[in-house]
Chain A
C-alpha cells in the first residue's frame, strides 16, 4: 500500500498526544474528605453494570484512537498497490533524439522500451497498460492492454521516429486518459529535462552523451553561378575539434577543421563556383558521436525548368531584354494578341494590354493593364513617387513571387489605385496601394498584375526585376520539388507537369515511390537523409534533416496533469471505500454499544 498524500500521516502524531491526555486523565485528583465512610458505603448501592461498561472508558479511548488513526489514514489517501487494478499510461518519447546511442550501445528509445517491458510484468497482475508514442504526432500504440503478451508485441512492433516530440499532444492524450481513468499512473520516458512534473512520473533517459550536429543549412547564390553553402556546427555537451568535409557529387572536395565550444554553434561556410554543374553537394562530419543522423546534409541544386513565354507589348525593351537574359526558353514577341494565339505557352506577358480571353494554362502577367480584370476596380491614378514595399509574408504567392527580391530602392512615380476583392493577394504596395497582385483563375492559371508602367518606375533597372520575372516564370513552370532541404515530419510537394514522365523517388531506407500523375503530389518525409529523384529529363533530389532541437535534449519547464479529486483513482478508491465502510461499521457498533450502556444505566 502506498499513499498519495503521505503528509496526512502526520496526523498520527495525534495518537501519542491522545494517549498522553488519556494517561493524565487517568490520574486521580487528590481530594480530602471528612470521611469516606458513605462513599465506601455507596459501593453496594452502585447499580450493577454490564461487563462491557467496565471497559467503557477504554472503549471511548479506543474510539478516539480509531478516529484519529482513521482520519490520518484517509487524509493520506492510501492506494492499494496490489489486488486493485491500476491503469498505467506509458508515454514514450519517439523523437529523433531518442535514437541517440547510450553508453550501453542501445538507443535511448530501446532503453525506454526495455523499462516498459519490465513494468509490463505487472500487467499480468490485473493492471492494464496503455502506451502513447510521442513522435512527430502523439498517438496510441496500445490502449488498455490487459495481457503482458499484448504489450510486448506492441512494443516489438514500435519504432522510434526521426521527427520532433509532440509532447503537448501526448499530454493532451494523457489528460483525457486521466479523465477516463482517474486512478491511472502516467509515466513519461524521455530524454528531455523536465523541471516540474505533477501527476506524472518522468523517467529521464540519457542526456549525457556527446553529439555534434550540422544544422541551419542554407545556399546563397552569388549571381554568377556560384553559391555559398553555410551551416551551423554545434558540439553539444563538450568542446571539440571537428573536421567538416565538402563532398561534390559524392567526392570529398574540401575539409575544414573547426574548433567548437560546447553548445555554441560555429558557422561553417564553403564556396562553390558553379552550382549548376554539380548534381549534389554534401557537408559532412564524422566525429563518432552518439547520433549520426545530424552529421550530414546533402544539397541537390535546382535546375530551372524551361518556360516558353509569349510577350505582347508595344514597348518590349525592358521585358524582352530581361526575359532573354533569364534564358528560360523561347520568348515570342507580339504587338497585339491577335498576331499570335495565346496558347501553347507557359507564360503570357501582356504589357499595356488585356486580352479578351485569358490562356487556359500556365501563368499570365499583366503589366500596366488599361482595363482591370475581374476583382479589381480602378479608383484613380497616383502620380506621387513612392517606394515599393513587400506585403507581410503568409501567402503562397508572396513566398513565390518575392523570392530573392529585396525591393530596397524601388521607386514608383505613377501607379493605378484600385480596390481589390478578397480573392486577390497583394504582393507589393506603393504608399499603401496594392501595385503587384496575384490570384488563381478558375481554370487553374495564375494571374499576376503589375499596376504601373515599367517606364514609371526604376524597377526594370534593378536586379529585383529579373528575380520578379524568374519568379513569375517559376509560377508558370513550378519546380519539380517544393524544397530541397526539409525537416523530417514535413511534407514535400512534387509537382509533375502535364505529360511529364513519371518520377521515381528513393527514400533513405530504400523504399521506392513512383509518381506519374500530373500536378502536385504530397510526400510525407519520415526518415532523415537523401531522397534522390530520377526522371526522364533530370536527376534531382532533396534532403531531410532531423529537427534542430533533436540534436540536443530539450528542456521542458513543467508538465502538469490534473487529476480530479472527487474521482481520484477509481480502483484504489474502491479499496479505500471498502476499508472506510468497515471502519464506519466498527465505529457505528461502538457508538451503539455506548448508547446501549447509557440506556441500561439510566433505567
Chain B
C-alpha cells in the first residue's frame, strides 16, 4: 500500500463545554490513495467539518481534543508532530479550502499579497519570484488578466473568483492532499459547475488527493471515488460511490438518497423525508445514534452501539441488521406530514 497517502484509524474528537463533553466525532476511519477523491457527506452537525479540522490539527486549543485515534499522512504520524513540524505540513502538504470565500480572504491585503504569503511561508524564494508565482497561480485557476488582478483587493472579485483565489492559495505549494470544506455551497449552480470542473482538471494535472466535504450528494456523484456517510458523529456507511448509490445498506443512507429531489421526483407527489431531527450530542447516546429516527429500529438499537461491519469488499456499514448473513428488507418510502 505504498500509494496510500492518508490513513485515519478510529478517530474520536471531543469538545469540552461548560456542562458536558460533546462527542463530535466517534471512530472515523479513512483510507485515501494518491489522486483519489473522498467525499464526506452528512447533515449539519454530523461531524464532517470537525473531522477535517482534526486532520489539519486546527481544533481550538483547550476545548477540542483527540482522545483516541491515529492519523498517518504520507507515513508521518500527524498527532505526534510538534507544532512547528505541523506548520510545515499545513499548507505545504495538506491544504484546505473553506466554504465561504467572502470571509476567508483578508480584505485589507491584495489578492497577490495573500498568495505570495502562502508561497513564501513554505518556500525559500525571493519576493520577485513569489510575485511571478502569484500571477502564474491566478492564470492556472482561470482568472483573466492575472497581471492586473494580482494588485486587486478581494472586494473587487465576485464569489466565484474569490473561491478561485482560495484554490490558487491552497494549490500554490503543490499539496499532496487538498481538503475542501463545502467549497461550492455559497456559490450559484453555474459557478459551482465551473469550480468543480477546475478542481477536477487541477487534480488530474498535479496528482492531488482530495477530501470533499459536502451535504450535496450531486457534488459527490460528480467528483468522488469513495464516500463516507456521517450521521451525528458516526460513520454510518462508507464505500465506493457507485456501490453506495447502487446498493446502499444503512437506513440513514436510504433516507438521504430518497429525500434528494431529482428529475424523477414527480411534481405533485409527496417527498419521502426522514422524520425528526438529529440528536443532541451533549447527551450521551447508548445505542445507535440514528435509532430515534430509524423506522427499522428495535430494542437492541437503543441499548447497544452497532459495530462497523465490512459486508462486501470496501463497503462498511454500521447497523445491527445489515451484516454479512443478514439483510434488512427495505420498506416502501415513508411519507411525513
**A in complex with B:** no
